[in-house]
Structure 1
Amino acid sequence: MRFLKMNKTYTLLILIILLFSINNITTAAPLDFEKLVEIGLENNDSIQDIQQDIAALERNIELIKAGQDWQITIDADYSRSEDYQDKEDGNDGTLGLEFTKDYSSGFSIGPTVSITSDDYSPEYTVELSQRIFPWTPLESDKELYSQEKELEKLKKELAESRVSQLTSWMEAYLNLIRLQAKELLYKEQLKLAEEDLKEVIKKRDIGEAGQIELLEAELAVKEAEYQFKNTSKEFEEGKKDFYQDLGLSNEEELLLDENEDYLLTLMTKVSNFEIDPGKNTELLQQAEGISYELLANSFEREVLEKELEWLKSESNTDINLTGEYNTADEEGFTVGVNLSYLLYDGGQRKIEIADKEAEIIDLLDEYKRLKRELALEFEKKQHQIELDQDKLSQNELTYEKRILEEEIAKLQLAEGLINQIAYEENSLNRKDQEIALAEARDNLFISKLNLLALFKDESYFRGN
């Protein structure tokens, strides 16, 4: 008896543990649009490529800066002469420690400490140099300036890429929602067409329908079947592309909900945005201020203009002031002037200057062209919004018409003027137009979004 009681106790305990474990097993929640955006911005290949380029460039900048800091070198030398039996004369060795640093001002310093095996007393040397004429930046400073401008350019490219991906994902997400709705609608249409075919077959059997009616019904089934399968395939392929672009695994579950808070808030904000024609010039200037292509052109020009300035600053004459202090030298500190003059360089510098000037002119011409293209793009996007607004108005009227047709069909059904299948066809037509109306709203939303992307940064699209 006691054994049975203990057995029941253990069984109950095991059941409680199992129930507790099951309740604590949490399945991954479906991903809403806000979460999709977070994942996509982390995993998207295009964004990651730019981020990797930025990281590589930042490392290179740090490398240049490290090279501008103090450089310390230690060297040792030891030799033994053939007269190895004479310990005093047979060994010869030196140990040296050298410090060097070049400053942007043209000043360089190089302290050295060396010890020889003769008396093991240290010898101190300090070498100094100051460029007097002409003054041009160090090569490392030139490289640093160029790399920092390139980094600015890449950061602008990243910002534009993130906004571009955001608008693209919103369009793809809404398209998946509409495809899913169409898939359900076409499934209903297929079911209705199959029911209609059954009715036609019954009528044919009693002589109320002929071969033409039968063929028409069979054709309607085939068309509905094709439409359903094609939409299902389009939905699955669109979903795969969406997953691929966001960097999602196939195991992730996608929540398609146009009423999701993040998306709904953004859609409301964008839908309420109206462009004042009187502010077009101001908005276009904002667009120019964040355009990657224009900014990249400006950065490249700034680098070339600096390089041209440095080239023109160079001279055939170089004057450097030098100084040296050596503890082993009786004179102690010595000062000198180094003068050099390049008699002839074959016209190289003149050609280099002409090349830089030509490149700058080309970039200026390109900048003007890019500005014209941006203005044209701005105008086209505004025109597209107007077209989509007209299309939305048309769809709204058509939807109202479909609602009235469905109401009339309902009355006709009640009076026995039409059958159930005819009524359901009207109902499906109304649902089909409801999807078309939603797509028209989506198109207007995306058109406005694409225009806003020209002069709004990422924070606008992230709900800030």
Structure 2
Amino acid sequence: MKKVKLTSLLVLFALVIITLPILGAESIKLTEEEAVELALENNNQIESLRREVKIAEKQVDIARSSFYPQLDLGAGYTRLGEAPELSVGEGSQDIFTTSLDLELPLYTGGQRSIGYQQAQKGVLAAQKELEEKKKDLAYQVSEQYYNLLKAKDMVQVSKKSLERIEDYVQTAEANYEVGIFTRTNLLQAQTQKLQAEQGFLRAKNGAKLAELALKNTLNLPRETEVELVKQLDWEEKGYQFDKVKEIAFNNRLDLELLELNREIVELNLERKKGEAHPNLFLSGNYEAQDDSFTVDGDWRVSLGLSYNLYDGGERRAELVQIEEELDILDLRSDDLKGLIELEIEEALLKVSETREGIKLMELSLEKAEENLKENKASYRQGLITTNDLLEAEATYQQIKSDYLSAIYDYNLAVAKLYQVKGIGR
């Protein structure tokens, strides 16, 4: 009997050990920073760009290989239909050949060096694109994180409002029984309770959708429960246009990418000019041929020179085309800088607007709370109608919701400003 009990305990213990990781995987606590890191680890677009960086790095290896000699080993076998007749007798129908070829460019007008530099610039460009996508994703996660915070707070606002209205219904029922309230007052309270229940349900659904959106971005399973560590609050900060502009112009990846593209095009221009120079190369060959495989053969070394004398004006036209591309990049750079300044101005105005909105909503919320408190006291005494109290409740709930939205808008405006500056939070 004891043996059976011991076996049962061991089985139960094993089941608990197996189940613990599964239970642990169903819930996750996240700060905003942890949410961003998780998104960066799991996002497929980020992983795709990481692989693009690796591809660009291999292009550097390919470009580097042009500085080394090319060595080829060859071997062949030929079977003749008839043995050839030789002056000293009959030859063999079997012919075996072995060859070794070497080629080394000595001078290419700088094209190998330029190609290598372009490949290195390509790696930098791929890295910048990866970093830019990371910052865009970080802003998206911050937006969804604060949206979920707001949605969860809206659930609590709706829940507390429902609880207060349920209390109003009880008061209305008590006052109706003693003849202080009419049946209309009671029906108004009961109707408002039904509406509050619907509002509570909508708030919960909104929070559920906000959580699903965040989990989708973080690439988490739908059944995972996400608990946010941070609260929906705000911290007043001040920003100056010139300082923000300086930071943005030093950190915006789109500006850096445009400058990298310009450098690549400039290298292409140098490369095209280098085609006007002669190419000098060294080549060597060793070849052996006999009726059996052998290494006893002949060798030769050649020094070659090639120079394009006339191409029908193709190179000149390509040079003009590249110069036009450089001019276009300069125009795009000016446009982008102007656009960045506009984005900075817009972001700063949004931060200022939402900051002042919070302060106004704080004052309004304080007055709404006092008004609701006074109306609740008067309602219990039967001094005001149900409709009067419900109006005060609706006003308070609307202002509370607007207050939460103002905090959300401010945090989002600050996150947008950091994105405009080209730096993380």
What is the aligned partner in structure 2 of residue 83 from structure 1?
Answer: 83
What is the aligned partner in structure 2 of residue 119 from structure 1?
Answer: none
CA contact (8 A) 1:297 1:363 kept: yes
What is the aligned partner in structure 2 of residue 386 from structure 1?
Answer: 352
- Could you tell me how far 1:353 is from its partner in structure 2? 1.3
What is the aligned partner in structure 1 of residue 157 from structure 2?
Answer: 185
Instruction: Summarize deviations over 1:166-223 as a string: whole Å, max 9, x none.
Output: 2322221222122123224324544655676684799499895366x57755653454
User: Which deviates more, 387-396 or 234-243?
Assistant: 234-243
Separation in structure 2 between the aligned mates of residue 65 and residue 337 of structure 1, nearest angstrom: 22
Letter matched to residue 61 of structure 2: E
What is the aligned partner in structure 2 of residue 122 from structure 1?
Answer: none
CA contact (8 A) 2:269 2:323 kept: yes
CA contact (8 A) 1:193 1:217 kept: yes
What is the aligned partner in structure 1 of residue 324 from structure 2?
Answer: 358
What is the aligned partner in structure 1 of residue 315 from structure 2?
Answer: 349
1:387-406 paired onto structure 2 within 5 Å: 387-406=353-372
SS across alignment from 1:97 = strand
CA distance 1:326–1:200, change in 2 (3 Å): closer
CA distance 1:222–1:430, change in 2 (3 Å): closer
CA distance 1:375–1:87, change in 2 (3 Å): same
- Could you tell me how far 1:358 is from its partner in structure 2? 1.0
1:103-118 paired onto structure 2 within 5 Å: 107=106
1:291-306 paired onto structure 2 within 5 Å: 291-306=252-267
CA contact (8 A) 2:84 2:93 kept: yes
SS across alignment from 2:223 = coil
SS across alignment from 2:226 = coil
Separation in structure 2 between the aligned mates of residue 163 and residue 58 of structure 1, nearest angstrom: 22
- Could you tell me how far 1:95 is from its partner in structure 2? 1.2
SS across alignment from 1:346 = coil
Separation in structure 1 between the aligned mates of residue 374 and residue 175 of structure 2, nearest angstrom: 27
CA contact (8 A) 1:178 1:435 kept: no
Letter matched to residue 410 of structure 2: L
- Could you tell me how far 1:52 is from its partner in structure 2? 3.0
Q: In the alignment, which of 21, 24, 31 is matched to residue 28 of structure 1?
A: 24
Q: Is 1:274 equivalent to 2:238 in the alignment?
A: yes
Separation in structure 2 between the aligned mates of residue 388 and residue 183 of structure 1, nearest angstrom: 22
Q: Is 1:10 equivalent to 2:30 in the alignment?
A: no
SS across alignment from 2:76 = strand
What is the aligned partner in structure 1 of residue 374 from structure 2?
Answer: 408
Separation in structure 1 between the aligned mates of residue 51 and residue 306 of structure 2, nearest angstrom: 46
What is the aligned partner in structure 2 of residue 165 from structure 1?
Answer: 137
- Could you tell me how far 1:384 is from its partner in structure 2? 0.9
Q: Which has the higher contact order (CA 8 A, sep 6+)?
A: 2
CA distance 1:231–1:400, change in 2 (3 Å): same
CA contact (8 A) 1:196 1:217 kept: yes
Instruction: Summarize deviations over 1:354-387 as a string: whole Å, max 9, x none.
Output: 1111111111011000000001111111111110
Separation in structure 1 between the aligned mates of residue 248 and residue 37 of structure 2, nearest angstrom: 25
CA contact (8 A) 2:278 2:306 kept: yes
Q: In the alignment, which of 182, 195, 213 is matched to residue 209 of structure 1?
A: 182
Q: Which ranges in structure 2 are unaligned for 5 or more consecutive residues?
A: 289-298
Separation in structure 1 between the aligned mates of residue 100 and residue 245 of structure 2, nearest angstrom: 61
What do you get for the CA RMSD once the two structures are aligned?
Answer: 4.1
Letter matched to residue 291 of structure 1: R
Q: In the alignment, which of 447, 460, 464 is matched to residue 413 of structure 2?
A: 447
CA contact (8 A) 1:204 1:210 kept: no
CA distance 1:79–1:23, change in 2 (3 Å): closer
Instruction: Summarize deviations over 1:40-69 as a string: whole Å, max 9, x none.
Output: 111123323322322333334334445654
Letter matched to residue 446 of structure 1: L
Q: Which ranges in structure 1 are unaligned for 5 or more consecutive residues?
A: 1-6, 108-129
**Identity of aligned pairs, percent?**
20
| Number of residue pairs the alignment of both structures matches | 405
CA contact (8 A) 2:188 2:387 kept: no
SS across alignment from 2:359 = helix
Separation in structure 2 between the aligned mates of residue 179 and residue 145 of structure 1, nearest angstrom: 51
Q: TM-score if structure 1 supplies the norm length?
A: 0.72
What is the aligned partner in structure 2 of residue 123 from structure 1?
Answer: none
CA contact (8 A) 2:43 2:217 kept: yes
- Could you tell me how far 1:36 is from its partner in structure 2? 3.0
